[in-house]
Structure 1
Amino acid sequence: MPGVSPMKNESIASGVRWQIFVEALSTTTRVGLHPHEHEKAQAVELDIELSYRTGGQHDDDAASVIDYDHYCGVITAFLQAKPHTRLLETLASEVASLSFREFPMLDEIRVAIHKPKIRPNTARLGVASSWTRWSYETLLVLQPLESSVAA
């Protein structure tokens, strides 16, 4: 195209990569191996990083982005409504799977789930893992969610 630099054409073709980060999203859920953890929901905190691309437009089209407030509501409602889960690893996989399913533009996600103050001399303990759209479609999609909740 006349008057358009190669770098600008390349940027438009590949889109813009955006990252959303959610730090210390606090909620409750039923999770854990120990008998006392089966009795009631307990506090958990999530750190989540979402990565997605847009088509390169720089307008204010809300439909082309992930609404982080809506995202937090979906995750919170899911965790509060679901039945007991034994492992934090399973819970992290379910959060990733729900995220890919509910937000089709999502390319990558990193989920860390922490249990605050569950052991003396620790601020929190937890697990973290990362997934791509490919790993979701080839691995996580095979794991059914115990419950699906939309906020």
Structure 2
Amino acid sequence: MHCDPIPELGITNRNRDVFETALVRVAVAKHIPILGICRSALVINVALGGTVYQDLKSQFPQKPFKHHQLAPGNQPTHFVSVKLDSHLFKAVGDDVFVNSRHHQAIKDVPPKLRVVACASDGVIEAVENNDASVQAVQWHLVIELLV
């Protein structure tokens, strides 16, 4: 499914999108492990048949909190809840504190992936496939809080 760009989308790079989508498809076909971070999480989702919100503020059904932080990138700004039965949970645990530097997010997840983490506003923050050879997270940084 193709959709036209909305004004809030911002700058895109068609050549990069086509190249990275092809890389994802080849890697998945050859069972080469992939870790997607931020934009790459969106590319992975789309390459495997999913969709994205081009702009959270104008397209997300609920009112999302600010996912494009003004704080420095090394400062976490919100928590993400990770599903206990996920491979991601084994790596980072639950209720991880992450940074947030995106105005886009995964919308519809393709059958080859499943949602494994969300922000409290419902924005999808991570997906993975069944054997964890494909992992994708929206954030760049995780802070483990010692309580």
Asked if TM exceeds 0.5, the reply is no
TM-score by length of 1: 0.25
TM-score by length of 2: 0.26
Highest CA radius of gyration, 1 or 2? 1
Q: Which has the higher helix share?
A: 1
